[in-house]
Structures are given as C-alpha cells and as structure tokens.
Amino acid sequence: MAGTIQAVRGMNDLLPDAAPSWLRFDAAVRDVVRQYGYRYMQVPLVEVTPLFARAIGEVTDVVEHEMYTFDDRLNGESLTLRPEATAGIVRAAIEHSLTYERPQRVWTTGPMFRHERPQKGRYRQFHQFDVEALGFEGPDVDVEQIVMLHRLWRELELEGIVLHINSIGDAEERRAHRAELVAYFSEHADALDADSQRRLHTNPLRILDSKNPAMQPLIAGAPRLLDRLGSATRAHFDGVRRLLGDSGIGFTVDPRLVRGLDYYNRTVFEWMTDRLGAQGTVGGGGRYDGLFAQLGGKPTPACGFAIGIERVLMLMQDGGSTASDAPDAYVVHVGERATRLAMSVAENLRDAGLAIVVHAGGGNFGSQMRRANASGARYALIVGDDEAAANVVAVKPLRDSGEQVALSPGELATRIAPIAQPAKHG
C-alpha cells in the first residue's frame, strides 16, 4: 500500500478550528488599514532572484541561507519564492511608476518563504501583514505606522507587546561607523567567532546581530552609531521620539537594534513580547530611503513594517482571545416535505443576514441533533412531518435555557434575528 503524503516540514495547514482567529485578525487588519488610508495591493510570490539579493543584501541570513531558489525550467533564469514583501512592492512601484504623481500608502498580506530551522513561531512558509508608505520622508509617517500597529494590538486586545526603536543613520554615517566598527572588531579579532570573522569585512554591522552569548561582551563595548548621527538624521529621530511621546505609546530606544535586512536607514523598530519564547519579535520595520534607487528607480523615501501573523495568532490564543464561526441556527429536518420547508426557511433567514447550516446527509432526529449541538449554533430549527403539515418550525435554544417554541416561517426571521445577532461576536 502506498504511504501517506505529508506537508513539507515547516509549512503548515490552517485547519477550520483555527480559522476563526485568523479571520478575526484579518478583519481587524482590514479595519485598521482603512482607517489610516492604506490601500491594498498584491505582488507575485515568485520574483527573479537578483531582486532579493540586491534589496535584502548579499550578506544576510535571508539571502545567504534561507531563500527557496530554483531555475526556471525553460530559460534557466534564477527565481526565488519571496522571503518578504518589501522588495516586490518597491519593484512594482518602480515598474508601474506608482509614486510618479503622489506618494502611496499600501499594504499587502500573504505567505513568505524562508528556509529556516522550524520551531515554535518560526516556519518555512509563514504569513506577514505588510505595510509600506512610499514617497514619504517622515518622521510623521514612521510614527503613523507605529501608532497604527498599536491600534491593531488594541483592537485584538493583545497586551505585553513592547516597542523598541533605534536610528541606524544614513549611508554616510553608516560608512563612517562601519569603518570604526571594523577597526574595533579587528583589534579584538581573536574574540570573534567564525561567522563574525567572515562578516568583519563584508558586513560588520551584522556582527552586532550575533546571538552567540560569547560575543555579547565584545558587542556591548562596540562604538554606537546612535552616538554618531549627523544633524539631519538626529533631527529625524528626535521628531520620531517627539511624535511618539505625543501618542502616549511607551517605547524603548535600543541602540543595539539592527534589522536582519540591509535596506534600512534611519528609523528602525520592532515589537516584541516575552510570551513566545525565542521567537519574540512580533513584527518590525523601518525606513528604507535608499531602496528605490538601489533597484534602479528614482530616489524615493519610504518606510514600512511587517508582522508575523502566526506569532500574533499564538498571542491571541495564549491570551484566551477566541473567535467563533458557529452558525446562528442549525436546521434539522426529516422527511421530504420537511426538507423542502427547511431549505426555503433557511434561505429566508439568510436573506435576513443570519448564518444557517441546513443538515445534509440524512439521518434520524437524534443524530441530526447531535450535529446541531456540535455546530455551536445558538438554535436548532426542527422540521418534521408534523411541522411541515402545519407550516411551522420548532425553535429549540441550544446554548441557553428556554422553551422550544413553534413559529411560522414569517415569524422566524423577526424573532430570531434580534436574538441571534448580538451573540455572533460573543
């Protein structure tokens, strides 16, 4: 006998029981982005490999180790499953002159692919909610995005997600700081691990990102870019801090905060929690004023972030936040006339906006009632030969006490709708 086939490691199914929380998250996101004037767009899951190499950086974990890259079987062109959305959105913005007339606030969502070692909160196919403001210099937009995310946490009743911010300067400042870093780490070359040795001359900034405990004292003593910002960059960061202060959102300035992708400059931020173990970064982003030019476009300041949907869902479940997709009523029916009445009554109730599951697949009243109970519906609507003959439906409350009553199809919608509706989000 053939063996069963399983999903690819690190790539998950979303099963129906987990879906209501996912959809609740989705609805909250749609609400929030609309309130801030961000507009939806999509980019392909597959792009040419040089896009990511150029945007994210050759010497990053993502590009060096984590991309799903393959050759197009016809022309041999190297293609990659997107590890993130920003590069594709900027590519699309350049290709379609999206910011030619005015700046654009956009957002997208969908699966991203990174060949990481799977563990709790870390997957090979995961999903992001991604927001980008294209053509805005900030710092107002930087803060707008932070405030928007804070609103999302509130909508979802999520607590304990803290904000860390930093400024990683502009290209010039980073070059100067980089030279300083190389000098500093070269002086301590014997204390560097193999990864850091390699990065010393390719990307010394990444050394600060090292998770190796043995490296931490050395990293702590390294020259800080935040102390060496030029006046324009400093003014930008002061603006971010001032507006954030006005917003009342708590934040920590973390001079060690660097992001795992190379396109950032000036403001960077991450939202973190200690409730997810090792994968505590719920989302992050920042400014990437150089990326348009780096990808061959006209220089265009921009800022964005992405959050990991799986991680947010874990927090929602952890916090006892539940969502339900139970129908308002489950219709139980036995007999041909009863079935016909059941189906027309169900359509009438759907016209009134209710969610109605009509039992399918036959069975006696007992087995159908068990399904009705398991569905989580608030009411069972019961139709048998007697009800069909009298043109009534028996309404039995399933979740609270109350008498079973017989109602005519006309009475049903007016009696059930007001009772069932408030329960929908309960």
Q: Token pair for residue 212? A: 């190796």
State which amino acid sits at residue 148: M
User: φ, ψ for residue 251 (rounded to 5)?
Assistant: -155, 160
Query: Rounded to whole angstroms, how far apart are CA atoms 264 and 259?
Result: 8
**Does 282 contact ligand HAM by CB under 6 A?**
yes
Alpha-carbon gap, residue 262 to 320, rounded angstroms: 37
Q: Which is nearer to ligand HAM, 116 or 411 (CB)?
A: 116
Among 88, 169, 285, 301, binds ligand HAM (CB under 6 A): 285
For residue 24, state whether it binds ligand HAM (rule: CB under 6 A).
no
User: Shortest Cβ distance from residue 156 to ligand HAM (Å)?
Assistant: 15
Say what angle helices 19-35 and 140-155 make with each other, to 10 degrees: 140
* Residue 204 or 283 having the CB closest to ligand HAM: 283
- What's the CA gap between 359 and 364, in Å, rounded? 11
| Length, in residues, of the chain | 426
What DSSP string runs through 146-163? HHHHHHHHHHTT----EE
x/- mask, ligand HAM, residues 103-122, rule CB under 6 A, reads -----------x-x-----x
Burial class (CB in 10 A: 0-12, 13-18, 19+), 172: exposed
| Burial of 384: CB neighbours in 10 Å, binned 0-12, 13-18, 19+ | middle
Q: CB–CB of 313/18 below 8 Å?
A: yes
Say whether residue 266 binds ligand HAM (CB under 6 A): no
Kindly state whether residue 130 participates in binding ligand HAM, applying the rule CB under 6 A. yes
Is residue 177 at the binding interface for ligand HAM, with CB under 6 A as the rule?
no
- Shortest Å distance, C-beta 308 to ligand HAM: 2
Point out which span in 180-188, 276-284, 377-385, 403-411 binds ligand HAM (CB under 6 A).
276-284
Residue 204 makes contact with ligand HAM by CB under 6 A: no
Report the nearest approach of ligand HAM to the CB of residue 132 (Å): 5
Shortest Å, Cβ 218 to ligand HAM: 24
Among left, alpha and beta (phi > 0; psi -120 to 50; other), residue 277 is left
Cβ contact 62:84 at 8 Å: yes
Q: Does 123 bind ligand HAM (CB under 6 A)?
A: yes
Size of the site for ligand HAM (CB under 6 A): 26
Show Cβ contacts of residue 231 under 8 Å, excluding neighbours closer than 6 positions: none
308 binds ligand HAM (CB under 6 A): yes
Whose Cβ is closer to ligand HAM: residue 116's or residue 254's? 116
For ligand HAM, which residue has the nearest CB?
308
Q: CB under 6 A: which stretch of 33-41, 227-235, 243-251, 284-292 binds ligand HAM? A: 284-292
Q: Rule CB under 6 A: say whether 283 interacts with ligand HAM.
A: yes
What is the binding site for ligand HAM (CB under 6 A)? 84-86, 114, 116, 122-123, 126, 128, 130, 132, 260-261, 281-285, 288, 304-308, 310-311
